[in-house]
Structure 1
Amino acid sequence: MESRISRRIHDEIANDIFGVMLNLENSKDNRSNSGSVLHSLNQVYHKARDISRNLDIPVNQGFQNSLMELIDSMTYGKKIRINPVFKRFHEDFNISETIHIVIYRVIQELLTNVIKHANAKEVFIQFFARGNRVEIYVEDDGIGFDSTENKFGGLKNVESRVGAINGKIRIDSASNKGTLITIEIPIKL
């Protein structure tokens, strides 16, 4: 875990700060470049905040609230609209902390993939409480991919997380058709 954090700080924060420093050094007139520098520093600030938030999942805020906070933080400053819907959830809906963390991390990974790779304008996420399971549908209007090819990176990680709690995942996608990911997770282990 620590090496992953260290790598993210190095790759994301340190490199961005170095880029801002180079920008300042190469600028002949610092006043005319101040908007660009402030924008770059704002991005570095949000990356640092996101890394720290990634370490602490707010399970004590409740299932819906923690996922809404995640979605809000991931869309800040981005040109993508994410539409979450929670159906059949009530105040006393209760899942184990383990399941909560897995769902949180899975949604985080899926949204990261959409933002980085899908070129999507809109994402719909639906959460259904159905008996003894949670069903999750994540659908985007992005460029899609060939879902018959071997999965790698983030999607492999998502499959592993869902499988570890006896869940099921199905990925339907095709080039230029967007992606629909369906997940079923038992509420109790």
Structure 2
Amino acid sequence: MKGRFSSIRYVFIRSHLYGVFLTVVTLLAILLSVYVLFHPEWLSVQSIFLFIILYIILSVFISLFIGFQTSGSLKSRLDAMSVLITQYANGNYESYIQSIDDDEFSRITEELNELGKKLQSQVKSLQRMADEKTDFAKSAHKAAVIEERQRIARDLHDAVSQQLFALTMMSEAAGKQLAKNPELAKSQMQDVTQAAMQAQTEMRALLLHLRPVHLSGDSLAKGIHKLIAELKQKSQMKFDVVIPEDLVLSEAIEEHVFRIIQESLSNILRHAHATEVNLEITTRTKELFIHIRDNGKGFDISNDSERKTSYGLKTMRERSEELGGTFTIRSNKDEGTYIDIRIPYKD
């Protein structure tokens, strides 16, 4: 019951009744003042209180009626936003509210609709990333299995299988010498024992190689400098690179950022015909900022015919969004290309 009377409708009605109360107090004070100061014949104490009582009764009924009527639309819009938020909480990001009026509630509604679109985009990105990881894991597993099988087969042929063949030959020879020359047979059996121990050692080494090996990769700064060093050997471009050497990022962010920069430099090398490239990575308040600029020929972003770089830009945008960041590109003909990427970042 308490929660019901604290709803927006009853809050709206209470505000009307509060206005009625202030109005009654003000009118009563004015009428009593006039009566005390001037004593007009048409004004008496009975008429004052009769007027006030009638005013209170009419005002209360009018306040209740107007309060219910005017708060109905407001309550409906708030209920719709509440339902929309509940839908988002339950994972239904395709829900939206159609707004017609141009007021504060409409702006909040539009922002909620935009939030739903962004959440839906994030879910698609996460699902796509999960699918890509699954496919990559399957492909990597298959490739690793095939490569490992080939290596095991080679090692088995080169070492263990030859030793087992030698064991077979020595065992047969020792068996033939048991009756004729026991001493020779004993010596040959000792050779068999040594060969068996050697084969066992080879097998243990082979099993040791089958264990997973974890290698620590280069840092983001070192990896980018290596990449740019390779590009300098393939082109005459001048690079201006600013990357903090003490930059510490998670493995996932480092990988995505490196792939984004790699794709960007690849696009510049293949399509931009640039002579200068600026790359800057800085950390700002709760964000990682990446700026890439070239002085190449540029292109018209809105032109669908320029599809040579569209796939690369799409990949870069998707990788940025997968990290919860934003991807902005500016380019014009003969004015170069500017790329700004902002990714949420915690020290």
Measured against the shorter chain, the TM-score band is: 0.5 to 0.7
Deviation of 1:59 (Å)? 6.9
Of structures 1 and 2, the larger Rg is shown by 2
Give 1:76's aligned residue: 233
Deviation of 1:133 (Å)? 1.7
Q: Distance in 2 between matches of 1:160 and 1:178?
A: 22
Aligned-partner SS, 2:279: strand
Give 2:273's aligned residue: 119
Q: Which structure 2 residues correspond to residues 1-189 of structure 1 after superposition, within 5 A?
A: 60-86=217-243, 89=244, 91=246, 93-149=247-303, 152-187=310-345
- Aligned pair count? 131
Deviation of 1:129 (Å)? 1.3
Q: Which runs of 4+ in 1 moved over 6 A?
A: none
Give deviations 1:132-165, integer Å, cap 9, x for gaps: 2210110000000012345721111111111111
Q: 129-138 or 98-107, which moves further after superposition? A: 129-138
Shift of the 120–59 alpha-carbon distance from structure 1 to 2, 3 Å rule, reads farther
Bigger relative contact order, structure 1 or 2, given CA contacts below 8 A and separation 6+? 1
Q: Distance in 2 between matches of 1:66 and 1:90?
A: 11
Aligned-partner SS, 2:234: coil
Q: Which amino acid aligns with 1:160?
A: E
Greater fraction of residues in helix: 2
Answer yes or no: is the 8 Å Cα contact 1:114–1:120 preserved in 2.
Answer: yes
Structure 2: gaps spanning 5 or more residues: 1-135, 140-214
Give 2:14's aligned residue: none
Shift of the 103–59 alpha-carbon distance from structure 1 to 2, 3 Å rule, reads farther
| TM-score w.r.t. length of structure 1 | 0.63
Deviation of 1:61 (Å)? 2.1
Answer yes or no: is the 8 Å Cα contact 2:221–2:245 preserved in 1.
Answer: no
Deviation of 1:100 (Å)? 0.1
